[in-house]
Amino acid sequence: MGVGSEITQYINAIGVGPGQFLYTIVGGAVWMAHGVHILLLSAVAKEVQLEWGLSHAQRGSIVSIVFFGMFSKSAFSSGLNRCN
């Protein structure tokens, strides 16, 4: 028997408890908030396009810049928050 099967046996013996339930709820809420953020961005981008008279390409560029900013923040902050 390997180490992996021993860990699986321990996890099966302990079972699922309130901690796992809480992590599942919190994790789902984070993903839901991220989805709401994306929906809001698309709605705001459409209204900004109409208000400022932007073309579809300009609106797409603005949304792409926002997504690139979200990506770069995520990529750089994860490296800064880790303790070595």
Residue 42 corresponds to which tokens in the numbers above? Answer: 């698309």
Total domain count for the chain?
1
Res 12: pLDDT: 84
Model pLDDT for residues 15-50, shown as the tens digit of each residue: 878 888 899 999 999 989 988 988 898 899 999 999
In angstroms, what CA-CA distances link 25 with 17, 35, 39, 70? 13, 15, 21, 24
Say whether pLDDT at 76 is over 80: no
Where in the sequence is the domain holding 76, given as residue range(s)?
A: 17-80
Q: Kindly state whether residue 63 falls inside one of the protein's structural domains.
A: yes
56 belongs to a structural domain? yes
pLDDT at 82: 57
User: Does the pLDDT at position 8 exceed 70?
Assistant: yes
- Determine, yes or no, domain membership for 29: yes
Residue 47 lies in a domain: yes
What's the predicted TM-score (pTM) here?
Answer: 0.55
Mean pLDDT value across residues 44-68: 93
**pLDDT at residue number 1:** 55
DSSP 8-state secondary structure symbol assigned to residue 81:
S
